Structure 1
């Protein structure tokens, strides 16, 4: 057993986030039964994949990512389309990943980078740096140190997984993994996937929480926190950043689910059931899907209540009666 311990210290700020996140996870379980909503689960997975790839400069839109996953033809760079397919295959197995196994890490890197890199599923042989766009944040450790550094990290996780809270342990892993930079490509994608895998072992609901979308919103802070940790020699700043991101995405989910199922009438539920996330619909299309004839009935019983509860939104909100008006189902 290695004596290596990643340099970090637990602060009151971290403990505050851990307490807040734990409380919010409980609330989300009360507000929303993810297991009974396959469309919601799939949508959040798509958001995770889209955001994680976008951080790495994949140019496909979320609609294009959705189309790739749904098997539709998408006109775009073939490499980026393959990235989406690979990421979906990896995320689709989140609940089956053993995040404390180096063998599993290599296996899922092979899935994540299939047909994209020569060293897919293998540690790098060359020297690599961590980049934010064209800017090099730091040079990774020499390639010959990668196997031992990775083994040390996983040995520490296995020895401490019952002592260090999963929220903190997963954040430490995320930073240390980025620092080691064990693969020639796909390190950022794997770091985010693996943190989610660790959290999923703690609370299965995390496989449906798009933490990556929150990181994407604060991408500059993400890279800056990594850079500061390199300078300070510990992962404290990054741990606090990641806990803040998790706390915020949970707050967002709660705020949008508080207008919860108990407040929905059967009409609104039917409307939401026929709508895909992030797809725009005309009134005529929704009438057809609901087998309705009366626009007045549709607006009174279905549309207006859903708009008031912020469950759907207008594409032209400043002109509610516009002939170009479309309606989109909101997501997390």
Structure 2
């Protein structure tokens, strides 16, 4: 019996992106240990969860997602809040995933869809399609074929992991998984989680790189790439798209790590250490965190240099002295 191989072509663009990503990962690792920065890790994980759920129409804001994860009361739909809790539980166990184990896939689908889906942790029994209004634009393979298709996909991954670069393998899996649509719900979330798990086994730093947030920025292009692959019958276009997005998100990580650069003034480094990303702070709150008394000293030594270096932004940039002014780490 011929072994199954998902159809795709390794193009020059794919090879170029693999080379660029590998080089950037090496540079990021040399600059700083991302794994050793808990604030950065947690913020990136929250971004991953918020973006992955937003792609699936979860309406909670980034701040609300952060509050749910931090155990605060959030006014919102019970289902959406549960989606956040489930996703956080799954992402927190990311390092425990064996991405080549189909039993792990079902287990983590059970975590991701707990209390939300009747067939949680099990392959779908019914037929699934993607609709644009009343028009079916894609029909997934019949449910009776799902177990066989998933076995073939995982068998191929196990066989190919030593020969095909993880960056390519992860993208192929992502597309094939979406095509098979093995679960009644949660397929997009699981595809993105598993893609990250595959990359994390190659380079653990990927646990803390929010690829999902980059996909969410280019959500239309993401679905267009998938649709084009459905038409041509292979995943090359999707591989190229995903590698482009991974390459771009690594540029953002460079910006994040600038705030940790040892060449920054000590006062600026201290300011950045007490700030979480995307959280607006008043000057009084920041002074309290830094245990400072002098407002002038705070502005001169801490705040103004950070703003000048484009590491902190003003929420009311046109009115620097506004009573409503807040400061956000970027």
Contact preservation (8 Å) 1:146, 1:182: yes
CA contact (8 A) 1:140 1:180 kept: yes
The corresponding residue for 1:111 is 111
Q: SS of 1:197's equivalent? A: helix
After TM superposition, the structure 1 stretch with the greater mean CA deviation from structure 2, 273-282 or 316-325, is 273-282
Please state whether the residue corresponding to 2:298 is helix, strand or coil: helix
CA contact (8 A) 1:43 1:277 kept: yes
Deviation at 1:259, TM superposition (A): 5.9
The answer to whether the 8 Å contact 1:31/1:258 transfers is no
What residue is the counterpart of 2:102 in the other structure?
102
8 A Cα contact 2:34 2:205, kept in partner: yes
List gaps (5 residues or longer) in structure 1: none
For structure 2, the 5+ residue unaligned runs are: none
Distance across 2 between alignment mates of 1:118 and 1:128: 15
Q: Superposition pairs for residues 251-330 of structure 1, below 5 Å?
A: 251-258=251-258, 260-330=260-330
**Whole-angstrom CA distance in 1 between matches of 2:252 and 2:236:** 25
Query: What corresponds to 2:57 in structure 1?
Result: 57
| Range with bigger deviation, 284-293 or 220-229 | 284-293
Contact 2:259-2:269 within 8 A present in 1 as well = no
- Structure 2 distance, partners of 1:61, 1:132, is 25
Question: CA–CA distance in 2 between the matches of 1:133 and 1:99?
Answer: 35
Q: Aligned pair in 2 of structure 1 residues 157, 189: CA closer, same or farther (>3 Å)?
A: same
Deviation at 1:278, TM superposition (A): 1.8
Farther-moved stretch of structure 1 (303-312 vs 12-21): 303-312
SS of the residue aligned with 1:121? coil
Residue 14 (structure 1) aligned with residue 14 (structure 2): yes
Please state how far the C-alpha of 1:263 moved relative to its aligned partner: 2.1
1:49–1:84: 8 Å Cα contact kept in structure 2? yes
Q: Offset at 1:134?
A: 7.5
Q: TM-score, normalised by structure 2?
A: 0.97
Structure 1 residues 202 and 2: alpha-carbon distance in aligned structure 2, compared to 1, 3 A threshold: farther
User: 1:270: how far off?
Assistant: 1.7
Q: Is the CA contact (8 Å cut-off) linking 1:2 and 1:155 kept in structure 2?
A: no
Partner residue of 2:203?
203
Determine whether 1:173 maps to 2:151. Answer: no
Compute the displacement of 1:329 (Å). Answer: 1.4
Match of 1:45 in 2: 45
SS in 1 for 2:126: coil
1:230 match: 230
Structure 1 counterpart SS, 2:188:
helix
Contact 1:2 1:156 in 2 (8 A): no
Distance 1:45 1:136, change over 3 A: farther
Is the contact made by 1:132 and 1:223 (CA closer than 8 Å) also made in structure 2?
A: no
**What is the aligned partner in structure 2 of residue 145 from structure 1?**
145
Determine helix, strand or coil for the equivalent of 2:118.
coil
Equivalent pairs counted in the alignment come to: 330
TM-score (norm 1): 0.96
Work out the CA distance in 1 between the residues paired with 2:239 and 2:231.
Answer: 15
8 Å contact 1:129–1:136 — kept in the other structure? yes
Q: Aligned to 1:138, what secondary structure does the other structure show?
A: strand
